[in-house]
Amino acid sequence: MSVAIITGASKGLGEALARALAARGWDLVLDARDPVPLAEAAGLVSAHGTRVTALPGDVTDAAHRAELVAAAWRLGGVDLVVHNASALGAEPLVRLEELPLEGLRRALEVNVVAALGLVQEALPLLRSAPAGAVLVVSSDAAAEAYPTWGGYGASKAALDQLAAVLAVEEPGLRVWAVDPGDMATDLYAAAVPDDDGPRPEPARVVPAFLRLLDERPASGRYGAPALLEERR
Ligand SMILES: NC(=O)c1ccc[n+]([C@@H]2O[C@H](COP(=O)([O-])OP(=O)(O)OC[C@H]3O[C@@H](n4cnc5c(N)ncnc54)[C@H](OP(=O)(O)O)[C@@H]3O)[C@@H](O)[C@H]2O)c1
């Protein structure tokens, strides 16, 4: 049985991906800071009959990251790490001239530093997995210059580069950075509260992630819309 660690899995994309992987028989270790929605999400995910360990905590906490990996080890190892938890740096987003530097530090800490910390912790188990993979959730804002998305976008660009270098340093693993495209989630609503335009639910984007796991293309940066489009 395969085991995945998914950060930020109490709602949004992380929860949708957890449900889809559980439906495919994956055992899961899930986290989020707020224990109540995390427990609710874990209850729904475990309805698929696989083993689900939910550990509330903040990905920026090294002891919590160690707990996540230890829990996966107890389930049999680590086949996949999904770094999905994310911080915006300011809610709502603001122009760079107003961005609190503490907000930028927080975005870098959650989106980049914690991602590397979790990967470092999991690397021995990932390397010994038959098909180890790391998937980091990126953003269009990492590559395009949208007003107000500068701090968050800079952190996601750093995350992309981290993933790219990890891929060449660890040729035995797959390392994918995935831009999921806009989704109707709390994160988007917090970023741009006045923008209530139509956006896909996260579950609509999950098949792009499953495609990567099924086809295991080369390590690199992928856009979910293109992965979904090509599959039609
Ligand atoms: N929504 C979009 O349009 C969009 C577009 C491009 C990229 N993305 C990316 O997609 C990913 C998922 O976002 P989403 O839209 O699904 O967000 P979401 O619905 O707000 O869910 C975020 C999840 O992460 C958890 N989380 C946040 N900070 C955390 C921390 N420090 N430690 C542990 N867990 C934490 C949240 O729970 P707690 O608050 O309880 O911790 C929640 O479970 C993110 O990487 C985001 O940057 C989203």
- Give the tens place of pLDDT for each residue, 85-125: 999 999 999 999 999 999 999 999 999 999 999 999 999 99
C-alpha distance from residue 66 to each of 146, 170, 206 (Å): 36, 21, 27
C-alpha distance from residue 21 to each of 12, 24, 123, 196, 231 (Å): 15, 5, 21, 29, 19
* Ligand 1 atom with the shortest distance to the CA of 190: 20
pLDDT of 196: 87
- Give the tens place of pLDDT for each residue, 118-172: 999 999 999 999 999 999 999 999 999 999 999 999 999 999 999 999 999 999 9
pLDDT of 98: 98
Cα–ligand 1 centroid distance for 8 (angstroms): 6
Quote the CA–CA distance of 118 and 51 in Å, as a whole number: 21
Written as six digits, the tokens of 161 are 């580069």
Tell me which residue of 88, 83, 91, 115 sits closest to 104, measured CA to CA.
Answer: 88
Report the SS3 class of residue 222. strand
pLDDT of 1: 85
Position 195 pLDDT exceeds 90: yes
Each as own residue / partner, the long-range contacts of residues 120-128 (CB below 8 Å, 24 or more positions apart, any chain) are 121/65, 121/66, 121/68, 121/69, 122/5, 122/69, 122/72, 122/78, 122/81, 123/170, 125/69, 125/72, 125/73, 125/77, 125/78, 126/78, 126/79, 126/81, 126/170, 126/173, 127/170, 127/172, 127/173, 128/77
Query: Are the CB atoms for 76 and 3 separated by under 8 Å?
Result: yes
Quote the CA–CA distance of 139 and 120 in Å, as a whole number: 22
- Pocket test of ligand 1: the residue of 19, 183, 199, 222 to mutate, having most ligand atoms within 8 Å of its CB, is 183
pLDDT of 212: 98
Catalytic residues: 152
- Average model confidence (pLDDT) across the chain: 97
pLDDT of 232: 56
- Give the tens place of pLDDT for each residue, 21-46: 999 999 999 999 999 999 999 999 99
pLDDT of 47: 96
Tell me which residue of 176, 181, 182 sits closest to 214, measured CA to CA.
Answer: 176
| Among protein residues, the one whose CA lies closest to atom 39 of ligand 1 | 33
Cα–ligand 1 centroid distance for 7 (angstroms): 9
Cα–ligand 1 centroid distance for 138 (angstroms): 11
* Ligand 1 atom with the shortest distance to the CA of 137: 45
Q: At 144, which amino acid appears?
A: E
Q: Which residues line ligand 1 (CB under 6 A)?
A: 7-14, 31-34, 58-60, 84-87, 110, 137, 139, 180, 182-183, 185-188, 202
* Ligand 1 atom with the shortest distance to the CA of 187: 20
Quote the CA–CA distance of 161 and 167 in Å, as a whole number: 10
| Among protein residues, the one whose CA lies closest to atom 37 of ligand 1 | 32
* Ligand 1 atom with the shortest distance to the CA of 56: 33
